[in-house]
């Protein structure tokens, strides 16, 4: 049986922190679906299509794990049922992430008892990175090199 996981998120944009989690997850699963949330109600820097295209270009090399990039809308549990993937990967950077992540994990499990959330702890060298800080720093003229893949930094500048 294929061990398949979903790594859901906004990924607006994908950062080196997300890539670290994908690499870690690739050692645990045969297949990871990187699922970009399609939420028209949320103001974003990149469209879902742009995000997916960028992610597809910067995916890390993995040994025995297939990486797939998709988008989803609606509830994560419905998407998990549709894809028959009941392991959800989420990265934890600091204790502050935990409360919200715990609530989501429990709510998702309430909605779908088969769904398990697997928390992966981010590497310390990327644990202070977040997409929202990246956007803020970029918008205020700060340097985002080394925090996001080169391609993302270039796309943001263009
Ligand atoms: O990268 P983010 O913004 O932290 O990701 C949040 C995400 C996409 C995982 C979460 O908002 C989500 O799953 N949204 C889909 C709607 C849903 O299922 N909501 C109930 C969650 S308990």
Q: Whose CA is nearest to atom 3 of ligand 1?
A: 10
Ligand 1 binding pocket mutation candidate from 6, 7, 8, 78 (most atoms within 8 A of CB): 8
Backbone angles phi, psi at 51, to 5 degrees: -60, -45
Model confidence at 71, pLDDT cuts 50, 70, 90, reads very high
Backbone angles phi, psi at 108, to 5 degrees: -60, -40
Closest-lying ligand 1 atom to the alpha carbon of residue 77: 18
What pLDDT, in 10s, does the model give residues 112-145? Answer: 999 999 999 999 999 999 999 999 999 999 999 9
Looking at the 3D structure of the chain, how many domains does it have?
1
pTM, entire model: 0.97
Closest-lying ligand 1 atom to the alpha carbon of residue 103: 22
The Cα–Cα gap between 28 and 37 comes to 23
Domain range for 51 is: 4-157
The Cα–Cα gap between 15 and 147 comes to 6
Active site residue 96: no
Residue among 4, 18, 52, 90 flagged as catalytic: 18
74 CA to middle of ligand 1, Å?
Answer: 9
Reported as type and span, the H/E element at residue 4 is strand 4-9
The Cα–Cα gap between 138 and 84 comes to 38
- Minimal CA–CA distance to 108: which of 1, 8, 4? 8
* Contact in structure between 132 and 12 (CB atoms under 8 Å): no
For residue 158, the model assigns a pLDDT of 87
Q: What CATH number did the domain enclosing 93 receive?
A: 3.40.50.620
The answer, yes or no, to whether any atom of ligand 1 lies below 6 A from the CB of 76, is yes
What pLDDT, in 10s, does the model give residues 6-65? Answer: 999 999 999 999 999 999 999 999 999 999 999 999 999 999 999 999 999 999 999 999
Active site residue 135: no
Q: 20: how many CB neighbours lie within 10 A of its CB?
A: 20
Active site residue 93: yes
* CA 128 to each of CA 4, 64, 75, 95: distance values in angstroms, whole numbers, following the listed order: 28, 29, 28, 12
């Amino acid at each position: 049986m294929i061990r398949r996981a979903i790594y859901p998120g906004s990924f607006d944009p994908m950062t080196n922190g997300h890539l670290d989690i994908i690499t870690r997850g690739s050692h645990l699963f045969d297949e990871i679906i990187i699922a970009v949330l399609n939420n028209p109600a949320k103001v974003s820097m990149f469209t879902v299509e742009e995000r997916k295209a960028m992610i597809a270009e910067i995916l890390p090399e993995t040994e025995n794990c297939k990486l797939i990039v998709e988008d989803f809308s609606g509830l994560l549990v419905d998407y998990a049922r549709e894809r028959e993937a009941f392991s959800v990967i989420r990265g934890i950077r600091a204790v502050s992430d935990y409360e919200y992540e715990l609530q989501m994990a429990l709510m998702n499990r309430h909605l779908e008892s088969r769904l398990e959330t697997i928390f992966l702890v981010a590497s310390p060298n990327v644990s202070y990175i977040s997409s929202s800080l990246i956007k803020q720093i970029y918008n205020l003229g700060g340097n985002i090199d080394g925090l996001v893949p080169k391609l993302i930094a270039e796309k943001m500048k263009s």
